[in-house]
A and B are shown apart, each in its own frame.
Chain A
Amino acid sequence: MGNHRSHILEEPERWLDLYGDELYRYALIQVHDASQAEDMLQETLLAALQARDRYTGKATVKTWLTSILKHKIIDHLRKQMRESPRDDIDERLDKAMNNEATDNLFDARGHWIITPQDWGDPEKCLQQAHFWDIMCRCMARLNALQSAVFTLREITGLSNEETCKELAITTTNYWVLMHRARMSLRQCLETDGFDEDRIG
């Protein structure tokens, strides 16, 4: 057909006009830092410009650009995780392993100390702008390790095996970090008053 291919011959500046916002947002929800997201968008467009001849036209330009950006995000999260000093990672993993962070959520008999709140109907919950404000803020507050694991698995959409491979962590570490990330997020959403301000 080649109708996708003809698009690619347009000026790359047009990619910026057409897909800039969307690609920027896609990066922003995963790296939570505006200037990082800007840099990634720029790198993506430059990489695309260089690889322009190899674009086959099988995917849409948007899909093609998104897949380049996805790799940049994975590299970034991997680097972010590695850049925490090695000791720090080991220490944090140890901490994550021996339940320190969630022990204080339960009493000696394993009952909740603070009862998890009813967030209401999931469908309705996601319709509220308020929910997304807090969700994005809470994701940005995860530590580098939890953030990398949660983001790659849940937003980038890698499988759990792929996430382990990309971040070079063991399955056990993966399970623990993922659980920690979920526990931190739900606690953050509750403390930031998501349940209190719930509408209907």
Chain B
Amino acid sequence: MNWMFSCKQVSVLVSAALEQKPSWTERLRISLHLLFCKACRNFARQMTILRTAARYLADHMGDLDIPTLPSEARDRIRKVLHRCEPHDNGPKS
């Protein structure tokens, strides 16, 4: 058995490692490859960035330039809500 993984194998294993922690021998063999391979180090970092980015997106939507609710849609939804609201149990002050 060749102890050294190929880049192709490492790419699959690095991605899989985001789902399930690899065994210690696997980790050792991946680290060994990464130590000598800049391309795969870049790849591994890209995978981390993708995961971090997706989570960051959900948590920091407010800080990012993501479109807000268009005003036509807001008016339309407002009308629908108004129609559907049971006015007789509405709030009383």
Judge whether A49 and B45 touch: CB under 8 Å.
no
Given A12-B81, A42-B77, A112-B39, answer yes or no on A26-B58 (Cβ-Cβ < 8 Å). yes
Chain B residues, Cβ within 8 Å of A157: 55, 58
CB distance from B76 to the nearest CB of A (A): 8
Task: Report the minimum CB–CB distance from B45 to chain A (whole Å).
Answer: 7
B38 CB → nearest A CB, Å:
8
Interface residue total, chain B, C-beta cutoff 8 A: 50
Count of residues in A whose CB is under 8 Å from the partner chain? 56
Chain B, Cβ-Cβ closest to A117? B42
Q: Do A126 and B61 have beta carbons less than 8 Å apart?
A: no
A182-B15 contact in complex given A11-B85, A117-B42, A122-B52, C-beta closer than 8 Å? yes
B46 at the interface (CB under 8 A from A): yes
| Pair B69/A38 contact, Cβ less than 8 Å | yes
User: For residues 1 through 51 of chain B, which have their beta carbon under 8 Å from a beta carbon of chain A?
Assistant: 6-9, 11-12, 15-16, 19-20, 38-40, 42-43, 45-51
Determine which of B40, B58, B73, B74 lies in contact with A29 in the assembled complex, contact meaning CB atoms within 8 Å.
Answer: B58
Which of B56, B68, B78 is in CB contact (< 8 Å) with A25?
A: B68
Closest to A21 in B: B68
Look across to chain A and name the residue whose beta carbon is closest to the beta carbon of B52: A122
Cβ–Cβ contact B48 & A122, under 8 A: yes
Q: Is the interface of A mostly helix, strand, loop or mixed?
A: helix
CB distance from A146 to the nearest CB of B (A): 12
Contact with A along B71-93 (1 / 0, CB 8 A): 00110111011101100001100
Instruction: Please give the residue numbers on chain B whose beta carbons come within 8 Å of chain A beta carbons, in ascending order.
Output: 6-9, 11-12, 15-16, 19-20, 38-40, 42-43, 45-58, 61-62, 64-70, 73-74, 76-78, 80-82, 84-85, 90-91
Binding site for B on A (CB under 8 A): 9-13, 16, 20-22, 24-26, 28-29, 34, 38, 41-42, 45-46, 49, 102, 105-106, 109-112, 115-119, 122, 125-126, 129, 131-133, 135-136, 150, 154-157, 160, 175, 178-179, 182-183, 185-186, 189
Given contacts A20-B74, A178-B19, 14 further A-B contacts (CB under 8 A): A11-B91, A25-B68, A29-B57, A34-B70, A38-B77, A111-B8, A115-B39, A116-B40, A119-B46, A122-B49, A132-B65, A160-B19, A179-B15, A186-B50
